Structure 1
Amino acid sequence: MAITQQLARIPAEYLASCRQSAGESLDGNPHWDPSSADILDLDWAPTLLERICELGGLDDVHLNALRQSTAGDTAIDLGFLNTHPHAIGPFGSAPTALSAAQVARVSELLWQIDFPALLAALPTDETEAASLIGDGADRIVGGLRKYLLGHFNALRDFYRDASQRHLLLVLWWD
């Protein structure tokens, strides 16, 4: 099974409840179970999205916002979500999060990125474009640009909804 990037948009109160459950449970079970409607599976697109932005010459402010949107931040302690046997991302690095304020800022910056223009800067030949991108882009089935644009739009929309609802985001690899 492939390891993929997962994001969950949740209220701060839900995270506090999970932290409390983990603290009170004999086996550290946080009872982590966000709604499936509030989870985004980015597959293994984050590295490819970042590479497109680098190749297209995206400025540092927007590139860093994209990186933060898929890497999160370690300011919020999520150690309780990374404890065996209830770890939410046992195959990757420890889960990270973004506060509601960080989500709002990242969302704003993601919506300023002209991703179709960045894709247009790639060579028109799919094989050549995939070779330039690297990181397994040559294994994408169904169209490289379609895959990347679909995942970028999903990420941007996910952040916009989280921002509008004043939610924080938890990120992990599973």
Structure 2
Amino acid sequence: MAVTQQLARVSVEYLEACRTRAEESSDGDHQWDPPAADSLDLDWAPSMLARVCEIAGVDDSRLAGLRRATDGGAVLDVGFLADPHIGPFGPAPAALAPFEVERVSDLVTGIDFQAALAALPSDDHAAGALIAAEDGFRGLRTYLTVHFDALREFYAEASKRGLAVVLWWD
């Protein structure tokens, strides 16, 4: 089974309820179960999306926003979600508070991803080698566009609804 990045949009109140359940449970079970409609599987795309933007010379603040969108933040403590319950692979779960989500959404929305993709070599093999994609990756630009658009829309909706975003690898 492949390890992929997962994101969930949740209210701060939901996170606090999960924290309380974890503290009250003998085994730390927080009963984490965000709605499927508020979840996003970014697959292996995060590092490739950032690499495309680096190569294209995307503005440093927007690139930092993209990285923050996939790395999380430190304002909300979600350590209670950690292994063995979710995210036993990779770094511990992280989260962005609603005010951070709004900022990240604005920065990511400001990235012209099609222009960034245009900075890559036209050959998928050569482009893939530059961004550390698996050798022989077919449909690379489509894959990257689908995942970038999904990330942008996910954050825009979270920002609009005043939600936090929790990230983990699973």
Is 1:172 aligned to residue 168 of structure 2?
Answer: yes
| TM-score normalised by the chain length of structure 1 | 0.94
Note the alpha carbon deviations across 1:67-115, whole angstroms, 9 max, x for none.
000000122111110143x2x1001110000000000011011111000
Matched pairs, number: 170
Residue type of the alignment partner of 1:161: E
State, as a whole percentage, how many aligned pairs show the same letter.
56
What is the alpha-carbon distance in structure 1 between the residues aligned to residue 119 and residue 157 of structure 2?
29
| TM-score normalised by the chain length of structure 2 | 0.97
Map 1:1-174 → 2, pairs under 5 A? 1-84=1-84, 86=85, 88-134=86-132, 136-141=133-138, 143-174=139-170
Alpha-carbon RMSD across the aligned residues, in angstroms, is 1.0
Note the alpha carbon deviations across 1:110-157, whole angstroms, 9 max, x for none.
1110000000111111111111222x343534x000000110000000
SS at match of 2:76: coil
SS at match of 2:91: coil
2:125 and 2:137 in contact (8 A); partners too: no
Change (3 A) 1:97 1:18: same
What is the alpha-carbon distance in structure 2 between the residues aligned to residue 139 and residue 16 of structure 1?
44
1:72 and 1:98 in contact (8 A); partners too: yes
Change (3 A) 1:144 1:15: same
What is the alpha-carbon distance in structure 2 between the residues aligned to residue 154 and residue 54 of structure 1?
20
Note the alpha carbon deviations across 1:49-78, whole angstroms, 9 max, x for none.
000000000111000000000000122111
Structure 1 gaps of 5+ residues are: none
Residue type of the alignment partner of 2:16: A
Give every structure 1 segment of 4 or more consecutive aligned residues whose post-TM-superposition deviation is greater than 4 Å.
none
1:99 and 1:169 in contact (8 A); partners too: yes
Residue type of the alignment partner of 2:88: P
What is the alpha-carbon distance in structure 2 between the residues aligned to residue 46 and residue 139 of structure 1?
19
